[in-house]
Amino acid sequence: MIVKKNLSLKTIYEFTGHHLYWLTAWMLLVTTLYYFTHWKLMTLPWLPLSLIGIAVAFYVGFKNSQSYSRLWEARIIWGAIVNNSRKLATMSKNFQSDNPTADVSEEIRKQIIFRHIAWLYQLREQLLEPTPWEHVSLGGLVGYFNRKRRERYFSLYKKELDEIRERVYLSEEEKTSLQHFNNKATQLLDRQTKAVQQLYQSGAINLIQQEKIQDTLNNFYDEQGKAERIKRFPFPRKYASFSFVFVCIFIFLLPFGILGEFVKLGDEFLWLSIPVGVIVGWIYVAMEIIGDYSENPFQGLHNDIPMLSISRTIEIDMLQMMGEKDLPKPIQSKGDILL
């Protein structure tokens, strides 16, 4: 997640600047060809081109709106995880039956908290696994640059990621037993239910309290499922692909339409069609790219939900509720990026 209020020119250039080269080359090629040939067939009337531009703008706007909805829904999901995690911590710590008799109840309560923290980081790890339609999985230069970009972001947080691996929230026996499962996060939630049942059977909590804790655990199943739906169900590829095709068609025709307008002003104004065309084309390309990257909020790039930071916030809150003194530090943004 980008945390800077206003993007710098450097950031904008890193995101879309490479498109300026081919846009300039295309506008220059068409303008130069017309300058030496004066073929009237190379000029298009502005009205049909403007109609195409308006239609493309509406289509790209619709796509961006839907892409943002996916991004915002992902943030809502993790916001619900934050709230329910705090509920789980306070209930696990404070719920007591009228006649508690279990000597092991405190240890089980602590295990519930620790296992939930492990679940948070496990869920994050699973959501970051690349899918075929994400930018980090693409071939060619686009995929290569995005993989390098993701590696660079992760390297900025190497210290924090190493610290997560070093902190022990699960026993070695439990870690080993999880290796046999495809969805480890789901198995951790299943074991939470078993631990809550142990609290009830030992008399540490009553039936109503057990039901409330279990309802909170069920909410985690719901939120995990919602996040997995966004991760595993891509933005409809026809919407995404045709948006890209329409922008390409518009940019292909753009210099011919702009030429027709500047020719009316005289040959000395002909070369102004190049910067004007580059600016207009770049705006459409930028709109397309913003929507394209926003549709995948769990791919480890700059538009992602900051799952690492959110998980660390929850971890600190839950450990403090349990009276732990060895607390990790909150995640701070680095390079204006918060993971």
Residue 219 has pLDDT above 80, yes or no: yes
Model confidence pLDDT, tens digit, residues 227-249: 999 999 988 888 888 888 999 99
Alpha carbons 229 and 111: distance in angstroms, whole number: 29
The backbone torsions φ and ψ at residue 337, rounded to the nearest 5 degrees and listed phi first, read: -120, 130
pLDDT at 17: 82
Alpha carbons 4 and 161: distance in angstroms, whole number: 23
pLDDT at 10: 79
Residue 100 has pLDDT above 70, yes or no: no
| Tokens coding 334 | 């680095």
Mean pLDDT of the chain: 87
pLDDT at 44: 81
> Which is higher by pLDDT, 106 or 72?
72
Quick one: DSSP state of residue 129?
S
Task: Tell me the pLDDT band of 80, cut-offs 50, 70 and 90.
Answer: very high
Residue 77 has pLDDT above 90, yes or no: yes
pLDDT at 13: 79
Model confidence pLDDT, tens digit, residues 21-42: 999 999 999 888 888 887 777 7
Residue 102 has pLDDT above 70, yes or no: no
Model confidence pLDDT, tens digit, residues 285-332: 999 988 888 888 998 888 889 999 999 999 999 999 888 888 888 888
Residue 130 has pLDDT above 70, yes or no: yes
Task: Tell me the pLDDT band of 187, cut-offs 50, 70 and 90.
Answer: very high
The DSSP-derived string for 2-31 is B--SS--HHHHIIIIITHHHHHHHHHHHHH
pLDDT at 115: 93
Alpha carbons 339 and 12: distance in angstroms, whole number: 19
Alpha carbons 181 and 194: distance in angstroms, whole number: 17
Which residue carries 């980008």 as its tokens? 2
> Which is higher by pLDDT, 100 or 93?
93
Which residues are 114's β-sheet partners?
none
Task: Tell me the pLDDT band of 223, cut-offs 50, 70 and 90.
Answer: very high
Task: Tell me the pLDDT band of 103, cut-offs 50, 70 and 90.
Answer: low
> Which is higher by pLDDT, 59 or 43?
59
The DSSP-derived string for 206-233 is -HHHHHHHHHHHHHHHHHHHHHHHHHHS
Alpha carbons 133 and 296: distance in angstroms, whole number: 9
> Which is higher by pLDDT, 278 or 102?
278
Alpha carbons 319 and 208: distance in angstroms, whole number: 25
Contact in structure between 113 and 320 (CB atoms under 8 Å):
no
Contact in structure between 300 and 291 (CB atoms under 8 Å):
no
> Which is higher by pLDDT, 6 or 50?
50
Average pLDDT over residues 53-72: 90
pTM: 0.88
Task: Please tell me the total number of residues recorded for the chain in this structure.
Answer: 339
Alpha carbons 278 and 20: distance in angstroms, whole number: 7
pLDDT at 101: 62
Give 71's Cβ-side CA count (13 Å radius): 22
Residue 104 has pLDDT above 80, yes or no: no
Residue 200 has pLDDT above 90, yes or no: no
